Amino acid sequence: MSKQNMLYYFSSKELLYQTVLKNILNIWLEKLNLINQPGSDPATMLANYIRDKLEISKSHPKGSKVFANEISMVRRILASTLRKT
C-alpha cells in the first residue's frame, strides 16, 4: 500500500501505530489467556501458551514487532490501549 493510501485511512502515523498495536493486543488477549489453555497440568498449559504465542508472532510478524518496540520503550500508548480494552 502506498503512503498516500495509508494517509487516506489513517490521519497520522501515530493513529496507524495505535491501530496496529490495538489489533495485535486484541489477538493476543483473545487467544493467549493462560487460564483457558488446554491441558490438565500447569506445565502443559504453559507449553500450549508458549506454542500459541510463537504461532501468533509468526503469523503477525509486523504486529509483533510493533508490540516488542512498545515494550522495549515502555510507551504510554500501550498503557492507554490496555485501559481501553
* Predicted local confidence at residue 66, as pLDDT: 84
Q: What was the pLDDT predicted at 59?
A: 92
Report yes or no on whether pTM surpasses 0.75.
no
Interatomic CA distance for residues 28 and 52, integer angstroms: 9
DSSP code per residue over 37-69:
SS-SSHHHHHHHHHHHHHHHHHHSHHHHHHHHH
* Burial call 6-19: b when 16+ CB within 10 Å, e when fewer: eeeeeeeeeeebbe
Q: Residues 3-53: pLDDT tens digits? A: 777 777 888 888 888 888 888 888 888 877 766 777 778 888 888 888 888
